[in-house]
Structure 1
C-alpha cells in the first residue's frame, strides 16, 4: 500500500528547506531526534555533504520512517551487466569524435536497472571528482526492487515514455522534456507503462546547483521556484524487496524483508527534484555573433578551479534567433571542456540527419567539431530574418576532463563508423 500526503503533488523550490508528512503528526515538534519519535517512527539523518560544510553548502534531511534503514543483511556482489564506473580504464582514451544511434529498446522484459548501459566518464567516485555517463532503455517497472547510488547524485534526462521515480521521499512523475535529480544515497524505483529511454549523468563531484548569473543579473536561465520537490509518501509493504546499490564503482545487492520506501515524513534541503526545461529562460544575442553555450547552463557542479566545472548540464531548447550578419548555428570549435551530447526530441540545428533522438555524440577535449556541411551550406546563405527554432531539445553533459568511453561504447553496433564523413566535403577557402 502506498500512502501520500493530501497535498499538491509537488512543492516548488530548489535548495530550500522543506517539511512534508504523509500522515499528520509524523514530524516531531521542536527537535529533530526526540527521545521517542512520533508514532513509533525511527528518525534518520541523511547527509549529502560533510557535517561541517558551510551553512550555504550544507545539504541534509531528517527522515521519519517505519523501520530503521539499517535493518538488512549484508550486501553481496550483483551482476554488473553493462554498468561501468570511474576510474575508466577498460579501454584507452580516444581523441576521435564519436556518434551513436539510439540505444535499441529491449526485446525481453527489462527494468531500469537491467537496462542501464555505461558509455563512459572520467574521474573516480572515490576521489569525489568526475562523472559517469549512462543511457537506459527499459520496458517494465521495477517490482520488489529499489536502487540507489552511493558514488554520486544522478541527473536523469528522460527521452521516451512516461516515467515515475518512486523515491523514499515521495513520487516524481517525469516525461521527456523534464529532468530528474536524485541525490546520492536516496533509494528509488522506476515505474513505467511501456517502453522508456533516457540518459543519466552520475556526478561524483560537488553537488549540482544553479550557476551564478554574473552580468545576466538577477533573472534568467533556470529559476529556483521551478524545481519541484515531492511531498512525503510511504509504503507499508511486508514482503522481500531487493535493494541494489552502486558503491565504489561496483553493484551490490541485499534483500530487505519490507519495502525500504517507508518514510512517513521528512524535512530538510536534501531531496529529489524535477525541472521542466520548457520553463528555462533562454538568453541570447539581439545584435550579432553566436554566444557561448554557457548561457544555456541549467545546473553546474563546480570544481576547485573557478569557472571550470566538474560538470555542466546545458540544454538547447526552442528559442528565437535574431542575430544579424552572423553564422547562427554553433561555429566550428575546439574546447578544453569535453562534450557528451544527447537529443530528446526533434533535430539539432547544427546537424542534419544522423543525430537522432535517443542517440548521442562525444567530442572530447580539443577535438575539432561543428556544423556538418549541409547545415553549414544552409546557414551561410540563409535570409537572416528573425526565426524561431521549435520542436527540439538537445543537451550536453560538459566536463573539464576527457571522457573515456567504455569497451561497449567503442564496439557497439550503434556506433556510427562514418561520423567523420560529415566534415569531408568542405571546399578550400579562396585566397588570392
Structure 2
C-alpha cells in the first residue's frame, strides 16, 4: 500500500476504551470503521446494542451464504466447475472431481490456487509429481500444464489471480519464518511415478483457458515428458496443518495477520486453531466492523466455526463491502468468556479490493435466509 497523508484526526468522546478490542465500556458493543482493510486509520464506536441487530434487511447489499456441498455434479475439467464469485481480478470456482482428469489443464488467464477441501491423490504437471491431501494449497504458476489423479471423490476450491500472480506477504517484524517456514513449501518431484506416466500411449489433450474461453491442443504423446528442471518458479504445496497462527493473549488480532497469499487486488488468509485470548478484558470473538474497502469471502473447511451459527464445513459466506458484520447473536454470549481454551476451526478467507459478482453456479447453493441470522427477535 502506498504511503498516504491521511487527514490527521486524534479524537475521543463519551465512554470509550483506550485499547481497541479490549476493556469495552460496561454493556457496550464495539464497531470498527477503518480504511484500507485493517491497515489504515480506524475509528471505534461503542454501541448500546449489537450493530447487526436489525429487524429487516432489504436491498442488494445483503450478505450471501452458499452451501457448496449441494453442488454435486462432478466435472472432469476445472473449467467446467461452477463459478461462485468473480470480478476482474479473481475467479472462485468449486470443483467436484471423482476420477482422474481425462485431459490436462493450462490456465493462461493467471496464477491458480487449488485448495483441497476433501480427497487425496496426485498432481502431475510440467515439473513432476506432487501428492495432495485435504487441507492442501496447491499453487500453480500461470501457464503450467497439470492434471489431478484423485484416489476417490475430491472437492476443491479454485482461486484464480486473473492476469497476475500470487506472492507471499511481508511478515515484517514477525520475521520470515512466522506463519509458516518457507522450507515447508514442497515442490514436485521427477520420480518413478512421474516418469512412468510419460509412456501413456494415445493422444493427449490440453484444455487451455484464456479470457474465459477454452482452446484444445491435442498431442500424439504425453506432453508431461520433462526429464528435469531448475529455477525459481514452480508449483508448491502447503497444508493448513503447517500454518502457525499469530495471536495475542491481550488483544483480538484482525484477520489480516493470517494472510497467506497476496495478489494485486485481493488476499488469501488461513484461519487455523489457536488459543483464545486469556486477558479478562480482551474480546474473544471477532469484532463488529464496517470494512468498507474490501469484499469478504469465507470458505469453511473443517471444525467448529465459533463466530457463526448454522455454518458447516463446505459452506461459503460472502459479505460485500459496506456491510457491517460481526459474530452471530449466539456467539455474542461468549464475547468475553469462552467455554474452551482454543478454537478448532479451519477456514480460507478471500478479501477482494473490488466488488464481487455472484456467479451463475452459486444460485443452486444459496441460503437466501442467511441475512436473517443476525436479526433481533421481537
Q: TM-score range by the shorter chain?
A: 0.7 to 0.9
Deviations 1:60-109 (A, max 9, x none): xxxxxxxxxxxxxxxxxxxxxxxxxxxxxxxxx953211011233646x6
Give the alignment's TM-score, normalised by structure 1.
0.68
Structure 1 residues 249-288: aligned runs within 5 Å = 249-287=212-250
Quote the residue 1:299 is aligned against.
261
Distance 2:223 2:359 in 1: 33
Distance change in 2, residues 1:190/1:332 (3 Å): same
Q: State whether residues 154 and 203 of structure 1, in contact with CA within 8 Å, keep that contact through their aligned partners in structure 2.
A: yes
Among 394, 405, 414, which residue is 2:347 paired with?
394
Deviations 1:13-71 (A, max 9, x none): xxxxxxxxxxxxxxxxxxxxxxxxxxxxxxxxxxxxxxxxxxxxxxxxxxxxxxxxxxx
Structure 1 residues 119-134: aligned runs within 5 Å = 119-123=84-88, 130-134=89-93
Deviations 1:122-172 (A, max 9, x none): 12xxxxxx11111111211113x1011000111111111113221121112
Quote the residue 2:208 is aligned against.
245
Distance change in 2, residues 1:424/1:105 (3 Å): closer
Among 316, 323, 330, which residue is 2:271 paired with?
316
Establish whether residue 136 from structure 1 lines up as the match of residue 123 from structure 2: no
Distance 2:136 2:107 in 1: 21
Establish whether residue 371 from structure 1 lines up as the match of residue 327 from structure 2: yes
Quote the residue 1:96 is aligned against.
62
Distance 2:224 2:62 in 1: 44
Distance change in 2, residues 1:147/1:283 (3 Å): same
Deviations 1:378-424 (A, max 9, x none): 335x258x71212x211111121111112332xx2310010011110
Give the alignment's TM-score, normalised by structure 2.
0.78
Structure 1 residues 13-162: aligned runs within 5 Å = 94-104=60-70, 106=72, 110-113=75-78, 116-123=81-88, 130-143=89-102, 145-162=103-120
Establish whether residue 168 from structure 1 lines up as the match of residue 126 from structure 2: yes
Establish whether residue 184 from structure 1 lines up as the match of residue 150 from structure 2: no
Establish whether residue 414 from structure 1 lines up as the match of residue 365 from structure 2: yes
Residue 268 of structure 1 deviates from its aligned partner by: 0.9
Distance change in 2, residues 1:333/1:189 (3 Å): same
Instruction: Indicate the larger mover: 225-234 or 268-277.
Output: 225-234
Distance change in 2, residues 1:106/1:217 (3 Å): closer
Deviations 1:231-278 (A, max 9, x none): 224413341112111111211212211111111111111111100222
Secondary structure of the equivalent of 1:156?
strand
Q: State whether residues 110 and 164 of structure 2, in contact with CA within 8 Å, keep that contact through their aligned partners in structure 1.
A: no
Distance change in 2, residues 1:251/1:114 (3 Å): closer
Residue 205 of structure 1 deviates from its aligned partner by: 5.0
Q: What value does the CA root-mean-square deviation take over the aligned residues?
A: 2.1
Distance 1:296 1:114 in 2: 29
Q: Where in structure 1 are there 5+ consecutive unaligned residues?
A: 1-92, 124-129, 304-309, 428-432
Residue 183 of structure 1 deviates from its aligned partner by: 0.8
Distance 1:244 1:205 in 2: 18
Distance 2:170 2:176 in 1: 9
Distance 2:225 2:214 in 1: 23
Deviations 1:353-377 (A, max 9, x none): 2x22111111111222211111112
